[in-house]
Structure 1
């Protein structure tokens, strides 16, 4: 089949690792022709371009800044996306017959592109529902349900669900949330399509002998907890800072924070002011170096703002599972990732904001290395059985 994939993810090299590039390669391995539409934000000062890479056709469309920017520019940029994407597709691929239109949230603003291509070629449509907007923004108090902004995006969300032949949700709680809040959506077209990776042989490094830890000035005689990913409002940064402060009272645990995002400057200001001895902040590491660092750590951290009513499934759990790290989660009570981890023996969780329980769980993780090892093995087993690109590919293609 000719498959067009519409994404906000910045894809320039299909051979890179990532939840979308890994899945794209699985489609290519199964004989499909992949056409990818991806943004190149104005900060990079590049024009729209078309090129082939790794067996895929990639169309990079010049857009406004839509990630790690102000909420105003991000909102305007999201609204302009469908016009920019459709114009580029019509210019470069006007006569390519697409059999399947594949897309993910965010954003929810591809409706016109999807409808145009679906009508033009009688193509099938599949939504990979990675987050639920605009409700997640309401949860974080970015705007209210009574605002014009919410009503505008809510209409686009409802339209997106209606034009999608199938909706792949990341977890059972996601399916239930969509079903309860969108009664017009046929539940038969919803199924699980998880965040997934292409399995490779990840080998944990030797912490005691690591030149990387030495270079980063990270101790090798403490249990290393790592958080990697976005540092923004969805992660409940206030609680992260509370945890880092509380951990200063311990002598056997060290927290590594790696990431960027809208709250990074606030986190850095906290580090500059408090100069903690039991944690460090790293603004950026290349993907492979970050993976190497994960492989040297003992526990993976998952953080979500406690105000969320939408059930998120953070993709950052995947590298933790690949490297057989047990997980410690400070999350909201609506997501099911905590219960999935707990019920399958590879993680522990508490509600974000409960510092006493969280620090008790830190102690639980620190006190028994063998227990951490067993939990990590169970996480890897769950990954192999549920979160591989083969599972993701099958979840999509069984419908077509």
Structure 2
């Protein structure tokens, strides 16, 4: 199959989304599919770059404002779908039998709809953040005008997907207000096999102090995780100098 993967970021950018989408692209290619990744980069000097990595075609689209704080990122993401449509009209030799979209970001809805119509294909949405719900829950924004705008964009993305893969079964009820239960499934995270012997060696020699309590966190460190609440909850009177995070 000819597959188009839409992702906010991709290698060499280091992020959870970049890593798992890189693993997915490689696995799909190993299984005999022709994979095209459409992603974004703030560092390009031209409007886009059409290259390849490990037999995977990668179309990188320039978004110059993405590194300029939350406002710059919002401005960049609002233009995602328009930029995708503009650039994909320019590139040659593009085939598609299905499109896979990774979210965050929520601003892929119009691009997904356009690709589906042009190629007459289905779309799978990999959803890893329920946005804007989590920013409201975290107290970052209130349910005002900006929130309603985000909800409109969020709803559009869900409705343009044919199937949505979410992280937690407990979140299914949230999505039933937008789509039918047949369009939602639990999709666990994945990753490439790792040789843990090097990791064990590093932990023995550098990181782990057996005289202290060690807390190892292997997840994403972003606003949604609110790691400061974990740090603040540690009772230093009890742990004293015996803990290292």
Q: TM-score range by the shorter chain?
A: 0.7 to 0.9
The answer for the alignment partner of 1:171 in structure 2 is 168
Q: Does 1:136 align with 2:126?
A: no
Q: 2:100, 2:123 within 8 Å by CA — same for their partners in 1?
A: yes
Q: Give TM-score, length-normalised by structure 2.
A: 0.86
Q: Which residue of structure 2 aligns with residue 38 of structure 1? A: 39
Equivalent residue for 2:69? 70
Structure 2 CA distance for aligned equivalents of residues 77 and 90 of structure 1:
20
User: What are the ranges of 5 or more consecutive residues in structure 1 without an aligned counterpart?
Assistant: 257-400
Equivalent residue number for residue 232 of structure 2: 242
| RMSD after superposition | 2.6
* Aligned mates of 2:222, 2:203 — CA distance in 1: 32
Which residue is 2:59 aligned to?
59
Aligned counterpart, 1:311? none
**Matched positions, count:** 240
Tell me the CA shift for residue 254 of structure 1: 2.8
Match of 2:209 in 1: 219
Gap runs ≥5 in structure 2:
none
- For 1:22-48, what per-residue CA distance to the aligned partner results, in whole angstroms no more than 9, with x for missing partners? 11111111110000011112xx35432
Distance 1:123 1:201 in 2: 38
Per-residue deviation, 1:190:
1.2
Quote the residue 2:193 is aligned against.
199
Pairing of 1:64-143 with structure 2 (within 5 A): 64-66=64-66, 69-93=68-92, 95-143=93-141
Q: How do 1:362-373 residues align onto structure 2 when only pairs under 5 Å count? A: none
TM score, norm. by length of structure 1? 0.55
Matched, 1:233 2:223: yes
Q: How does 1:249-268 map to 2 (within 5 A)?
A: 249-250=238-239, 253-256=242-245
Q: CA deviation at 1:224?
A: 2.0
Question: Which aligned runs of 4 or more in structure 1 are off by greater than 6 angstroms?
Answer: none
Provide the rounded CA distance (Å) in 2 between the counterparts of 1:235 and 1:205.
Answer: 26
Contact 2:99 2:121 (C-alpha < 8 Å) held by counterparts: yes
